[in-house]
């Protein structure tokens, strides 16, 4: 009975649950990014370049065939995935983090005298430095 209790305690430990959730979310997110690249971005590039697939491209040297088209497909796919992740994940998250870290605006307690530009209390009606009337 103690083995089952230890196993249950192991499974319910925070790190294991967090890791499991992270893996599941990562797989689901990977599927979304792959769909974005395969279904939207790649056809867009194919429409512009008028070549939907580069896998048939190759050159031959001394009877050896070099299929550089597959490499181009993989490179374009990588660049599209990296671009999608940067613009749809990294940039929005960075904006959210920067908004969260901003300090709340503090109401000013002083203002500048229009005549001598000295700092005076916000509620002052006359400058203590030049005695100018301040509205």
Please give the CATH superfamily to which domain 2-102 belongs.
Large-conductance mechanosensitive channel, MscL; domain 1 (1.10.1200.120)
Rama region for 79: left / alpha / beta (φ>0; ψ in -120 to 50; rest): alpha
Three-class SS state of 89: helix
Instruction: Look at the pTM and tell me if it is higher than 0.75.
Output: no
What is the per-residue pLDDT across 1-46, written as a single tens digit (0 to 9) for each? 688 888 877 777 767 777 887 888 888 888 887 788 778 877 887 7
- Domain-wise residue ranges, the chain: 2-102, 107-135
Element (H, E) at 59: strand 59-61
């Amino acid at each position: 009975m103690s083995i089952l209790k230890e196993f249950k305690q192991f499974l319910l430990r925070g790190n294991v649950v967090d890791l499991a959730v992270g893996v599941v979310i990562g797989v689901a997110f990977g599927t979304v990014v792959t769909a974005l690249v395969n279904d939207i971005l790649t056809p867009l590039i194919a429409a512009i370049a008028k070549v939907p697939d580069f896998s048939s491209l190759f050159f031959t040297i001394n009877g050896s065939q070099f299929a550089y088209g597959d490499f181009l497909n993989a490179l374009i796919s990588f660049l599209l995935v990296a671009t999608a992740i940067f613009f749809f994940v990294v940039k929005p998250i960075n904006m959210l983090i920067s908004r969260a870290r901003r300090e709340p605006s503090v109401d000013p307690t002083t203002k500048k005298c229009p005549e001598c530009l000295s700092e005076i209390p916000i509620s002052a009606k006359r400058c203590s430095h030049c005695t100018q009337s301040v509205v």
